[in-house]
């Protein structure tokens, strides 16, 4: 597989992102807004009728994208969208600020970016594309003024886990990319951090 490019999800690429996620919106109608919406809003969006399920999530991601705020990056194999990583300034992800297990130790720390999700179609998984998307996210955050890139991986102890459980990436993957992983002071959940620019 050859990835020609990893590109920002800009307004002109909305149709590509929509095609990539398909009718179910990636992970069960999530549309990669789980961390962008308050819990009550997100729960309501996926617990309505099957015909309506995920509709408001799709609209929320579309609104962010068409407003030009770049919610993440799209990988392309030729002209075909084939992968996604959600990376943006940490303040864009309202659920992080409210999360007991991931709440920032210093919410006022400047220029921190967060990487909250990867999504690959099943036939694209386990081929190294996640690492390529991670490299793209690092460069995008750095070029956009990020000073720290933070992520919230799962520790699989070097083994494998179902894709739906490791959508935030694995500790091993981030460590290989140079991140330092440490337990969250409140929950013990792994938090990965990489310095992008020296102070």
DSSP-assigned states of every residue in the chain: ----EEEE--GGGHHHHHHHHTTTTTTTT-TT-TTTS-HHHHHHHHSS-TTTTTHHHHHHHHHHHHTT---EEEEEETTEEEEEEEEEEGGG-HHHHH-TTT--SSTT-TTEEEEEEEE--GGGTTSSHHHHHHHHHHHHHHHTT-SEEEE--B--TTS---GGG-TT-BHHHHHHTT-EEEE-TTT--EEEEEE-S--
CA 95 to chain centre: 13
Does the structure show a pLDDT above 60 at 88? yes
> What's the pLDDT at 165?
74
What is the pLDDT confidence band of residue 199, given thresholds at 50, 70 and 90? low
Q: What is the pLDDT of residue 42?
A: 73
Q: In this prediction, what percent of the chain has a pLDDT beyond 90? A: 53
Cα 153–chain centre separation:
11
Q: Give residue 45's pLDDT band: very low, low, confident or very high (50, 70, 90).
A: low
Better-predicted residue by pLDDT, 27 or 76: 76
pLDDT score, position 192 = 96
Residue 172 has pLDDT above 70, yes or no: yes
| Chain segment 102-143, per-residue pLDDT in tens | 988 888 899 999 999 999 876 767 777 888 999 999 999 999
What is the per-residue pLDDT for 52? 59
In CATH terms, the fold of domain 5-195 is Aminopeptidase (3.40.630)
């Amino acid at each position: 597989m050859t990835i020609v490019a990893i590109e920002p999800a800009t307004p002109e690429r909305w149709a590509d992102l929509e095609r990539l996620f398909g009718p179910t919106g990636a992970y069960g109608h999530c549309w990669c807004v789980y961390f962008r919406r308050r819990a009550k809003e997100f729960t309501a969006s996926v617990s309505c009728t099957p015909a309506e399920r995920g509709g408001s999530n799709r609209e929320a991601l579309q609104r962010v994208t068409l407003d030009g705020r770049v919610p993440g990056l799209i990988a392309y194999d030729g002209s075909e969208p084939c992968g996604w990583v959600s990376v943006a300034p940490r303040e864009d992800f309202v659920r992080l600020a409210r999360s007991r297990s991931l709440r920032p130790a210093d919410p006022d720390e400047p220029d921190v970016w967060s990487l909250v999700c990867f999504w690959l179609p099943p036939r694209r998984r386990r081929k190294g594309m996640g690492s390529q998307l991670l490299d793209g996210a690092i460069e995008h955050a750095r070029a956009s003024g990020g000073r720290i890139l933070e992520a919230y991986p799962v520790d699989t102890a070097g083994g494998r886990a179902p894709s739906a459980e490791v959508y935030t990436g694995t500790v091993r993957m981030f460590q290989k990319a140079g991140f330092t992983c440490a337990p969250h002071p409140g929950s013990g959940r792994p938090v990965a951090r990489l310095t992008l620019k020296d102070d």
